[in-house]
Structure 1
């Protein structure tokens, strides 16, 4: 049975890493392994579903963009951009879940993504788009396809969509913020599927996420506490991330991924 300490620990890691280009999935998996957290079906569902807390942090921080008078086109862009991930995510759901139990490929993807981030600022030096309002629907869809690279755990949804944004001519800050925005419908769909549709169990035969939560009062409280912690920590992490990329770009995150990937690869090889 998952403890409240374990739930809070995983939620902190989720909130810290969901919007950083470092792979929240990888960090949660490695955290659970390091601290000996039993990876049963509830824990797997928990790690996917508490992303909802981080999503709500984005909505709270950018509420004027989500609920402003001119939000119609904003939602249209997000709707088109999220379609590739929804379709491909459904097709490869079982394959993705299988990789979640294989830490070495995830560590390798951390390293590969880190190398890419070391050079991204030099490759895309002359952005032409500096705000979300300047992003066309066509470019939004292109970024949505880039985001699909993150279906391989360890890649990082944030890193994939940010790289895609910069490849489409967005500035560092505009790419990072559009990555935040795109996370909302993407992770909302993932969380909804995890809670209400997906059957967690052997060969897909088991309980839905909501049914697992409602099995015991403790399960419900674990989920609620995890959501709140992820929400608070994500708000702090987003402000921190924007400040870092404005000043230093993405190179610090590249070195971080490489170092962590090497350490974790060694850890799971011995």
Structure 2
């Protein structure tokens, strides 16, 4: 992966991380189109720039993240992240296989799109608008929904946790915000695990030139994500998820066609 490729992938990540359209799927689709070949560094790069993008949440909601008087907030995030940590470790082989299968990812994109087309009609009586009203059991349920995005690459972590939040009577905008908050500890853990795996299995990729590429990608993903997160919150306050559902269905079908034709 050269620096130009890293910038392109970082832009893709930043644009899609907080939208319910799966940033992982978009990176996996974009890689072969721009000539990026799979490898230990590419896998680590994808995880770390996701963390960089998610750090934009801390920037935007810094008062919330550093309000140490709100101890319950941290407990809720801890409870919600536990299912992903447990199932991520238990199902690592399945997850790795799924991540390398574009056929599988494209089908999940389509299935998730169909769900998003109808999701607003399923949850029409959501009234919880205040984060303090999210109970510990509700946080755990949302965390369980996040597991679906881990075992089904292409589903979208954002989509899964937002749907989980709405199933617990959260409004669209609050469900999205809690999804953003939950992404921070989740991706910190994923990035630490990815760096550790590379250090143990492929230490040769941890060279200065790769770190420079990683740094450029992280900065670009962070800046683009700042714009993306603001757009989503503003959009969801006025609109629903249907447009994202149609987009996922169309993109999934296009990817299946490209795979069938042998283009990717």
- Shorter-chain TM band: over 0.9
Report how far residue 128 of structure 1 moved.
2.4
Partners in 2 of 1:136 and 1:74 — Cα distance? 10
Structure-1 residue corresponding to 2:141: 142
Structure-2 residue corresponding to 1:212: 205
Partners in 1 of 2:95 and 2:68 — Cα distance? 39
Within 5 Å, which residues of 2 pair with 1:89-128? 89-128=88-127
Q: Greater CA deviation, 245-254 or 171-180?
A: 245-254
Structure 1 stretches of at least 4 aligned residues deviating more than 4 Å after TM superposition: none
Structure-2 residue corresponding to 1:53: 52
Report how far residue 247 of structure 1 moved.
1.7
Partners in 2 of 1:267 and 1:248 — Cα distance? 31
Where structure 2 has 5 or more consecutive residues not aligned to the other structure, the ranges are none
Partners in 2 of 1:90 and 1:148 — Cα distance? 11
**Secondary structure in 1 aligned to 2:57?**
helix
Is 1:266 the equivalent of 2:261?
no
Residues 52-105 of structure 1: per-residue CA shift (max 9 Å, x gap) = 211211101100110125331100000001000000001111221112211011
Partners in 2 of 1:84 and 1:70 — Cα distance? 26
**Secondary structure in 2 aligned to 1:153?**
coil
Within 5 Å, which residues of 2 pair with 1:46-195? 46-151=45-150, 152-195=152-195
Within 5 Å, which residues of 2 pair with 1:23-42? 23-42=22-41
Aligned residue among 244, 252, 256 for 1:253: 244
Partners in 1 of 2:20 and 2:192 — Cα distance? 23
Partners in 1 of 2:241 and 2:54 — Cα distance? 22
Tell me, yes or no, if the aligned pair for 2:20 and 2:157 is still in contact at 8 Å. yes
Tell me, yes or no, if the aligned pair for 2:6 and 2:217 is still in contact at 8 Å. yes
**Secondary structure in 2 aligned to 1:249?**
coil
Equivalences, count: 260
Where structure 1 has 5 or more consecutive residues not aligned to the other structure, the ranges are none
Tell me, yes or no, if the aligned pair for 1:55 and 1:188 is still in contact at 8 Å. no
